[in-house]
Structure 1
Amino acid sequence: MNEETGLRERKKRRTREALSRTAIELFLERGFDQVSVAEVAAVAEVSKPTLFRYFPAKEDLVLHGIADHQGEAARVVRARAPRQSPLEALRSHFHARLDAHDPITGLCDNPAVLAFRDLIYSTPGLVARLTLYSAQDQRELSGALREVEATDEVTAGLAAAQIIAVQQILAYDNWQRLAAGHSADAALPAAHADAERAYDLLGTGLASQGL
Structure 2
Amino acid sequence: MVGLRERKKQRTRRALIEGALRLFGEKGYEETTLAEIAASAEVSTRTFFSYFASKEDVLFYDSEHQIERALAFLSAPAPGQTPADLLRAFIEDALSTSDDGQDTWSEQTALRLELIMREPPLQARALHLLFDSQLRLADALSAAYPGRLDRVEAAAAVGSLIGAVKLAVMTTLNDGLPVEQARDAARRAADIALHGLPR
Q: Which residue of 2 aligns with 1:209?
A: none
Q: Are 2:45 and 1:48 aligned?
A: yes
Q: 1:140, 1:54 → 2: CA distance? A: 26
Match 1:164 to one of 162, 165, 169: 162
**C-alpha spacing 1:6/1:182, structure 2 compared with 1 (3 Å):** closer
Q: Of 110, 122, 125, which aligns to 2:118?
A: 122
Structure whose CA Rg is larger: 1
Instruction: Quote the Cα distance in structure 1 between the aligned partners of 2:103 and 2:172.
Output: 10
Quickly say closer, same or farther: Cα 1:58–1:186, change in 2 above 3 A: closer
- The one-letter code sitting in structure 1 at the alignment partner of 2:195 is D
The answer to whether the aligner puts 1:196 opposite 2:170 as a matched pair is no
The reply to whether residue 37 of structure 1 matches residue 38 of structure 2 is no
The answer to whether the 8 Å contact 2:169/2:183 transfers is no
Q: Quick check: 1:175 aligned with 2:173?
A: yes
**Count of matched residue pairs:** 191
Deviation at 1:87, TM superposition (A): 2.3
- Of the structure 1 ranges 165-174 and 133-142, higher mean CA displacement relative to structure 2 is found in 165-174
The 1:68–1:174 alpha-carbon spacing in structure 2 relative to 1, beyond 3 Å, is farther
1:35 is paired with a residue of what secondary structure? Answer: coil
Larger RCO (CA under 8 A, 6+ residues apart): 1
Q: Shift of residue 27 of structure 1?
A: 1.5
- Seen in structure 2, the aligned counterparts of structure 1 residues 126 and 158 have a Cα distance that, compared at 3 Å, is same
TM-score scaled by structure 1?
0.71
Identity of aligned residues (%): 32
Q: Which one of 119, 131, 138 corresponds to residue 127 of structure 2?
A: 131
Q: CA deviation at 1:157?
A: 3.4
Matched, 1:11 2:8: yes
Unmatched runs of 5 consecutive residues or more in structure 2:
none
1:26-77 Cα distance to aligned partner (Å, 9 max, x none): 2111111012213322343323232112111221112214554224443321
Q: What is the CA distance between 1:131 and its match in structure 2?
A: 1.3
Contact 2:173 2:179 in 1 (8 A): no
Counterpart CA distance in 2 for 1:192 and 1:160 is: 15
Structure 1: any 5+ residue segments left out of the alignment? 203-211
Instruction: Report how far residue 99 of structure 1 moved.
Output: 7.4
Q: 1:126 to 1:186 in 2, by over 3 A?
A: closer
In the superposition, the TM-score normalised over structure 2's length comes to 0.75
How far apart are the structure 1 equivalents of 2:182 and 2:27? Answer: 32
What is the DSSP-based 3-state SS (H/G/I as helix, E as strand, rest coil) of the residue aligned with 1:81? coil
d(CA) in 2 for partners of 1:75, 1:31: 35
Alignment CA distance shift 1:155-1:50 (3 Å): same
Q: Does 1:149 align with 2:145?
A: yes
